[in-house]
Structure 1
């Protein structure tokens, strides 16, 4: 059983784990003996915490059908007990092995500062990534509170890792440098306006996800499946590890 619970902020990682698990089981000749179930708080497959993209639900359903994977969507999880996943609607789903993406939660050290964090422990920020209460404090990535254009009835987070965090960090770094020089922060970028750029690995397959905005409304958004996405993900991982090991931090 593989899935992502309510409040999870990176559903793409759950999909990657799901399809890579299926692929590795097939390579080992065990896929027919291991039923796979994907359980998610997403209201539909391919929501990804960003409201979905055109054709995304249909594409993910085709992927799951091809791999023989059952899906349970739009559910909250009550408890992960040994051998049993308890859902908030009263259902119990048995499992022999499970990987569940947990919710992002704020840190107590941040939550304990009066006026800094919201009730969940995340820092409300301006589009400069300065704290709304403390302009000399910055928060990006998983530390920042992000508003979404859907109701609380859809308990999904938004991806705050990878490319979005890099964009936020560049904005914050430029503004910190400006403040050190005695200038006003001039770099701005709302989270929802950050482009969506993601390569989702899926065993020997994959999906390239592109959109002009992270959150709707958007002018365009596409999901392009194919083995080229898997190859691109492998190449990027090797490149990223290489530049990190050698300290080439100025490379893109």
Structure 2
């Protein structure tokens, strides 16, 4: 498999001081930009500190669960800003639990860990066709709840 490097968007790189040299937005654990307090970045757009890179902010692939967690933190802090309050919700990327189902055709891997980045107390990878089936079931459930408007269901 060949995976091209992740690069940020030109529009983000055009804002002085907003993005790093790779085009990712360095963020605090509130997911606010380090340069502009009124700019938030989550998911692959956010540069997070990763221990094995000597705390150099990098863009790392982020699956749905950590991106959703980051978005919840950012949304709570945006709501606080609209009310005139300071950001109160924090969640460091490395401490978000790892919950991921990687699908690969008729096979896949279920990944569960107590946090995204090492050192971890718990982590397991379960390969097999059941991961592919779980991904299909999750997709069908997610689309059903979205179409029915059940956004508060897990």
TM over 0.5: yes
Distance between the aligned counterparts of 2:18 and 2:6, measured in 1?
Answer: 17
1:147 to 34, 37, 49: 49
For 2:63, the equivalent position in structure 1 comes to 161
The equivalent residue for 1:172 is: 74
- Segments of structure 1 that go 5 or more residues without pairing to the other structure are 4-99
From 119, 135, 140, the equivalent of 1:233 is 135
Which residue number corresponds to residue 99 of structure 2? 197
Give ranges in structure 2 of 5+ residues lacking alignment: none
Number of matched residues? Answer: 151
Deviations 1:152-174 (A, max 9, x none): 8xxx9632231111000000000
Q: Deviations over 1:26-68 (max 9, x none)?
A: xxxxxxxxxxxxxxxxxxxxxxxxxxxxxxxxxxxxxxxxxxx
State TM-score, norm by structure 2.
Answer: 0.87
Structure (1 or 2) with the larger CA radius of gyration: 1
The CA distance in 2 between the partners of 1:159 and 1:195, in whole Å, is 15
Find 1:244's aligned residue among 126, 142, 146.
146
| In structure 2, C-alpha distance between the alignment counterparts of 1:107 and 1:192, rounded to whole Å | 24
Quote the residue 1:114 is aligned against: 16
- In the alignment, what sits opposite 1:33? none
Secondary structure of 1:233's aligned partner: helix
Contact 2:30 2:91 in 1 (8 A): yes
User: Deviation digits for residues 130-185 of structure 1, max 9, x if unmatched?
Assistant: 11111111110111112222248xxx963223111100000000011111111111
Separation of aligned partners in 2, 1:225 and 1:150: 26
- Tell me if the contact between 2:104 and 2:132 (Cα under 8 Å) persists in the aligned partners: yes
What does 1:1-252 align with in structure 2 at a 5 Å threshold? 3=1, 100-151=2-53, 158-252=60-154
Normalising by structure 1, we get a TM-score of 0.55
> What is the CA distance between 1:242 and its match in structure 2?
2.5
Query: For residues 131 and 245 of structure 1, do their structure 2 counterparts lie closer, same or farther at Cα, with a shift above 3 Å needed?
Result: same
1:247, CA displacement in angstroms?
4.5
